[in-house]
Structure 1
Amino acid sequence: MTQPTGTAPAEEIFVDVVPTFREEESSAGESRYVFSYTVTIHNRSAHSVQLLARHWKITQGSGKVQEVRGKGVVGQQPLIGPGQTFRYTSRAILDGPVGVMEGAYTCIETATQRPFEVTIAPFRLANPSQVH
């Protein structure tokens, strides 16, 4: 797929997230609910992009909001070529069985060094035994 002239690189970067409740690491008695989430970033543009930073907003079921910012993901600032994907798994620890995460990646198009942001749509973190 070629990138049409004038299209923002973010429009051709797609992010899929699959969350998983980690029952064996969680403890309701300690108000500790652990979730892993596997992120797959698809570069459908004609240009290489590099992920430089992340910003996550985690909203707990209680309404408490936590923001996490940092360089790269899982200790890397991956370079993702045209047509390539990058996948990683990370974790979030909540104080209740339900929450929502959303965020953005700050990237650059390597050929032009033009920065852009890729929005990560909200996704639900929930203990499967919850009826919400």
Structure 2
Amino acid sequence: MVTATTEGVKISVEATYQKEFSNPSLHHYVFTYKVTIKNCNPFTIQLLRRKWEIHDAAETVKLVEGEGVVGQQPVLEPGNVHTYLSGCTIRSGMGKMMGEFYVEKLNDGKLLTVTIPEFQLIANIFNN
């Protein structure tokens, strides 16, 4: 698990290779990742958007941007946590992801950019 705190928002991410859904002979590797967002600020925030960079050892970088996370734009009171599970596919057994969340301070409307720390996507095809 990797963790980073930016603008008082703590992001933790843990990735897992999904062997049962992958097919290495067809260059199809599936990963899930669990993201935990904790608001360590004394004010309420709302997650509005996300931007991911997916790096694959076999391809160029893929950018994924959009509103919220898995269809939600969670509001986090001070000390609250939001956790979600998502996934991605890559063509090789090795890659990495990183990105940013864009959140709004609900008390004054200020927009904050929160770093999603870099994490590895490694297919452990022998032991998983």
Shorter-chain TM-score above 0.5: yes
Q: Structure 1 residue aligned with 2:110, among 111, 114, 131?
A: 114
CA-atom RMSD, angstroms? 1.4
Q: Which has the larger radius of gyration?
A: 1
**Aligned residue pairs, count:** 122
Normalized per residue, the structure richer in strand is 2
The 3-state SS of whatever aligns with 2:62 is: strand
Map of 1:28-39 to 2, 5 A cutoff? 28-39=24-35
Task: Give 2:53's aligned amino acid.
Answer: K
The 3-state SS of whatever aligns with 1:29 is: helix
Q: Which has the higher contact order (CA 8 A, sep 6+)?
A: 2
Q: What residue ranges of structure 1 are gaps of 5+ in the alignment?
A: 1-8
Q: CA deviation at 1:11?
A: 2.4
Which contiguous aligned blocks of 4+ residues in structure 1 show a shift greater than 2 angstroms?
none
Q: CA deviation at 1:90?
A: 0.2
Q: What residue ranges of structure 2 are gaps of 5+ in the alignment?
A: none
Q: After superposition, what is the alpha-carbon deviation per residue over 1:68-112, rounded to whole angstroms, capped at 9, x for unaligned?
A: 000000000000110010000000100010101000001000011
Does structure 1 conserve the Cα–Cα contact (< 8 Å) formed by 2:35 and 2:84? yes
Distance 2:6 2:112 in 1: 6
Question: Equivalent residue for 1:50?
Answer: 46
Give TM-score, length-normalised by structure 2.
Answer: 0.91
Distance 1:56 1:85 in 2: 20
Give TM-score, length-normalised by structure 1.
Answer: 0.88
Calculate percent identity across the aligned residue pairs: 34
Alignment partner of 1:15 is 2:11: yes
